Chain A
Amino acid sequence: MSQTLLSVRGISKHYAGKAVLRSLDLDIFDGEFLTLLGPSGCGKTTLLRLLAGFERADSGSLTLAGQDLSPVPPERRPLNTVFQQYALFPHMTVFGNVAYGLKMEKRPKDEIHQRVTDVLRMVQLDQLADRKPHQLSGGQQQRVAIARAVVKRPRLLLLDEPLSALDYKLRRQMQLELKRLQRELGITFVFVTHDQEEALSMSDRVAVMRDGVIQQLGTPREIYERPENLFTARFVGETNLFPARVTAVNGERIAVDIRGLPRDLRKREFPIEVGQQVNVLLRPEDIRVLAADADHGFAGKVIERNYKGSTLDSLIRLDDGNLVLASEFFDEDDPAFDYRLGEPVKVSWVDGWEWLLPMDEEADAIQA
């Protein structure tokens, strides 16, 4: 798992003078499911196309299992791609599409037949082998695209937003199916998406990208619970930010002043001095909504309630005008749970569930 399969070193790419990738480094481990996550234009698709060989980097190197990939044309790279709109060959049957890659390898006929049949059975399309792509549903086309790419048994499978054309339910189903396939085949997956939920639920590791730079690389849990910067925090989920001023530093703990209320927090590894401004980050599910007569928390009023099935989302306007989003699981034993609209409440969180971020002026400006 920890053995590097593909290593990206100092890759830069410009289009018409605009930097798309800026000296990017990335190690992809053998057998992992790595997701490139970011907004459109962050360079994730360009990186994928560079790996596939459809684009050439301005500088930097790509090494796959010790072999320099740069001079290798796409048709000779031991990796395959699942394209965004599937790019199935319209004039070939499902069988023909899947067999194409093996025919290019000039495999014997019976071997091709065997392998194509096996892979089609794996994606549950063996009944539809004689259909043309346009006779299939979106989900079925998606499976043909995957089958076509994995039948060649690549070291690495590149997936360019493969689920973006499917509806929500089918999407969830294909996510599970992709995970299962990846486990069964043991192929390394590099998956591109702009959907943070998809990234978190499927990946072993996620690389959050922005403007051609990897903002953070880590497990879904690290990315969500311990984001390194405001951009990552905001991109992978809902955030509540409390700007705070540090009033004292005592070893592992710091005292801060948040909107006039003192609070004692756990210190993080970045340097913190007295008087410094920091951001205290809380996910909606970390927020606790308390009755107005609670002895701590920020006073405010409930201005919106959204029933989400398993959770209840409340939007609370604090007395200083800031908004806080709270997402609570139902607890039928808690009588105080159901606040009415306009009801005064207090907002707090369980000690230790907060996450400290240094003030990041640039990210603030862009996200605001």
Chain B
Amino acid sequence: MKTWLPRTYLFLVYALLYLPIAVLVVYSFNDSRTAYRWGGWSLRWYEALFSNHAMVQAMWNSLWLALAAATVSTLIGALTALALQRYRFRGKKALRGMLFVVMMSPEIVLAISLLALFLLIGLQLGFISLLLAHVTFCLPFVVITVAARLNGLDQRLLEAARDLGAGEFTTMRTILVPVMMPALLAGWLLGFTLSLDDVVVSTFVSGPSYEILPLRIYSMVRVGLKPEVNALGSLLLVFSLIMLVISQLILMRSKR
């Protein structure tokens, strides 16, 4: 009888969430030069996008940076989580606390302090500075993701492996890493996404030698919304969907 009420509510929620994205995707195929008028279907903005060398270069730069930042922070983060969980050492509490500080503090503070640090040690702003900065803000998220899974891990699994003749390193390679794989992947994907769409920190620590996508888009829309950006947004959307599906597939496989 009153089923229309919840249905309408649900529709509104989804509309609110996905309408902007739908508009973006539809307008990326718009033939019209102005962004607000419909002029028929066309792929011209995708063409324009790929013929814009600076843009394509920025895209590759961003992907490469995100890949590197996610990988490095997953490596360091996983080892940190392991150390925090398994060993007792001086400054353990301080380390845990500092990870939270990095996560909770405003991005702008992190950006300024990183810039100050890089200037102080005389580091050329570019790929290296970006990578260091991105690893810094990705790290706490990876540590927390991995630590959550580690806490749920049955310690007896590791003991069982040793009992059956595996040394410490073999245990890590054959039991710990495979069992932790979903968390490692989740951490990696989180780092990848964080790195890919970061603007604030990157604005401060990037140099002219290494332009990345978010900054490029940002500077483009400052002089007016170009339809090219819609095309780029749609591509990024498809890319994230693919990543999401892959991560879900891996999670499902690991559960089986």
Q: Hey, which bits of chain A sit against chain B, CB under 8 A?
A: 52-54, 73-76, 80-81, 83-85, 87-91, 100-101, 104-105, 132, 148-149, 152
Contacts and interface: CB of A to CB of B under 8 A. Distances in A.
B164 A87 contact: no
A161 to B, nearest CB: 12
B164 A101 contact: yes
B105 to A, nearest CB: 37
Interface string B167-191: 1001000110011010000000000
A45 to B, nearest CB: 12
A189 to B, nearest CB: 15
Given A83-B160, A87-B154, A76 B178 contact: no
Most chain B C-beta atoms within 10 Å of own C-beta, residue among A74, A83, A85: A74
Nearest to B158: A87
Given A54-B159, A104-B170, A132-B256, A91 B179 contact: yes
Contact of B164 (A53, A90, A148): A148
A101 B165 contact: yes
Given A85-B156, A90-B179, A100 B164 contact: yes
Interface in B112-171: 154, 156-157, 159-167, 170
A182 B156 CA distance: 24
A41 to B, nearest CB: 19
B85 interface: no
Given A89-B157, A91-B254, 19 more contacts: A52-B163, A54-B159, A54-B162, A74-B163, A75-B163, A75-B164, A75-B165, A81-B163, A87-B154, A87-B159, A89-B161, A90-B179, A91-B178, A91-B181, A101-B164, A105-B165, A132-B256, A148-B160, A149-B163
Contacts of B163: 52-53, 74-75, 80-81, 149
A159 B174 CA distance: 24
Contacts of B167: 73, 75
B162 A100 contact: no
Contacts of B159: 52, 54, 74, 81, 83, 87
Nearest to A80: B163
B165 A81 contact: no
22 contacts: A52-B163, A54-B162, A74-B159, A74-B162, A74-B163, A75-B163, A75-B165, A80-B164, A81-B160, A83-B159, A85-B154, A85-B156, A87-B156, A87-B160, A89-B161, A90-B157, A100-B164, A100-B166, A100-B174, A101-B164, A105-B165, A132-B256
Most chain B C-beta atoms within 10 Å of own C-beta, residue among A76, A83, A148: A83
Interface residues of B, number: 20
Contact of A89 (B175, B181, B254): B175
A101 B175 CA distance: 13
A152 B256 contact: no
A52 B164 CA distance: 11
A91 B156 CA distance: 15
B161 A100 contact: yes
A104 B157 contact: no
Most chain A C-beta atoms within 10 Å of own C-beta, residue among B156, B160, B166, B170: B160
Given A89-B175, A91-B179, A132-B256, A76 B156 contact: no
Contacts of A88: 160
Interface string B70-99: 000000000000000000000000000000
B168 to A, nearest CB: 8
Contacts of B164: 75, 80, 100-101, 104, 148-149, 152
A125 B181 CA distance: 28
Contacts of B170: 104
A197 to B, nearest CB: 26
Contacts of B166: 75, 100, 104
Q: Nearest 9 A-B pairs (CB), nearest first?
A: A104-B165, A101-B164, A87-B156, A87-B160, A74-B162, A91-B178, A81-B163, A75-B162, A83-B156
A53 B163 CA distance: 8
Interface in B232-256: 254, 256
A250 to B, nearest CB: 58
B162 to A, nearest CB: 4
A181 B157 CA distance: 24
A152 B165 contact: yes
Contacts of A152: 164-165
A100 B156 CA distance: 15
Contacts of A73: 162, 167
Most chain B C-beta atoms within 10 Å of own C-beta, residue among A52, A85, A104: A104
Contacts of A74: 159, 162-163
B156 to A, nearest CB: 4
A61 B156 CA distance: 25
A4 B97 CA distance: 53
Contacts of B156: 83-85, 87
A149 B165 CA distance: 11
Nearest to A76: B165
Nearest to A132: B256
A27 B3 CA distance: 75
Nearest to A91: B178
A245 B162 CA distance: 57
Contacts of B174: 100
